[in-house]
Homo-oligomer: A and B are copies of this chain.
Amino acid sequence: MVDHHEFYRDKRVLITGGMGFLGSHLAIELVGAGAEVSVLDAMIPIFGGNEFNLEPVHDRVRTRVGDIRDAELVEEMVEGQDLLFHIGMQTSHVDSMTDPLWDVDINCRGTMNVYEAVRRHAPECHVIYAGTRGQYGVLRSSPVTEEHPMSPTDIYGVNKVAAEQYGFVYGRAHGLRFSSLRVSNTYGPRHQMKHGKYGILNWFLRLAMDDATISLFGDGAQKRDYNFVDDVTEAFLLCGARPESTVGEAFHLGGGRPSTLRSATEMVITAAGSGRYELTPWPGERKAIEAGDFVADHSKFSQATGWRPRVEMEEGLARTVEYYRRHKQHYW
């Protein structure tokens, strides 16, 4: 990784969802770079929050268990921050369909609380929003660029678009310094391993490590662009450290080497050294929200920040297996 001391030393940084997958990686790197890190995490059981994720820096991070829907708490946490990584949101496609009002409540109302708090209490703070490939919906052209229309296939995707657009509206109207980084399929250490509602590759890895059978829907031929979490963490750090080229902009990441879900699953099984897979028909409720192939052209972000994905899947998967072998009791 780039040495981030120069930019982040003594910077005050808040991470929503900071005990989760991506949030905890960011917290660890930021502490390493000399930043003063605060974490707000709702620790909603089904989400990815896990105290153990912050274990390496637990005494150097100010953590607070609380919800972005609590406007007063958000104001208190936001005050005086230089950067804010907004990652703590509802993340399950499937749950957004069974409980859409819950998704609206967290992802729309909660996010609005975050931006309002910044506008009122930290107007110079740079907000970096974790967007998602789900904002695009079914691709009309591939590889996708940031100009692609956004027609999500599920409520989660719709609200992630809205929450991103609130940020750009606040940028134009109130001068909010806002960037969005739409992430694709990310995998790696510190992801929750208890269910497969999101983070498909990590879930498959758990099944393989348990020597269980992985069910692939359909023919498993849908293409995906995977990123190892270290590359994504680096992308967020660069996005925050290069405001002159990232404020007011939306970007997406991509792995540079898309593969079918089937071949990714085969790599997972190889990395785990156990497990198997079978092809099964699509369940109706999944098929209805399936967005199909996703391959991303990440050149806009690379040009803006110099970022490129560095960790190949074989290596990323091996490091992930090793992590969970060592720390299984905290994740299984």
Number of A positions contacting B (CB below 8 A): 33
CA distance A173 to B282 in the complex (A): 13
Is A154 located at the chain interface by the 8 A CB criterion?
yes
Interface bits A150-164 vs B (CB < 8 Å: 1, else 0): 111111011101100
Nearest CB in chain B: distance from A214 CB, A: 25
**Which secondary structure dominates chain A's binding surface?**
helix
Q: Say yes or no for A105: interface residue by CB 8 A criterion.
A: yes
Assembly stoichiometry (copies): 2
B149 touches A158 (CB 8 A): no
Q: List 30 A-B contacts (CB under 8 A).
A: A97-B169, A97-B173, A100-B116, A100-B166, A101-B109, A101-B113, A104-B108, A104-B109, A104-B112, A108-B108, A108-B159, A147-B149, A149-B149, A149-B150, A151-B165, A151-B168, A153-B173, A154-B169, A154-B173, A155-B166, A158-B162, A158-B165, A158-B166, A158-B169, A161-B161, A161-B162, A169-B289, A172-B289, A173-B289, A174-B288
The interface residues of chain B lying within 8 Å CB-to-CB of A169 are: 97, 152-155, 157-158, 289
Say if the beta carbon of A59 comes within 8 Å of chain B: no
Does A285 sit at the interface, judged by CB under 8 A? yes
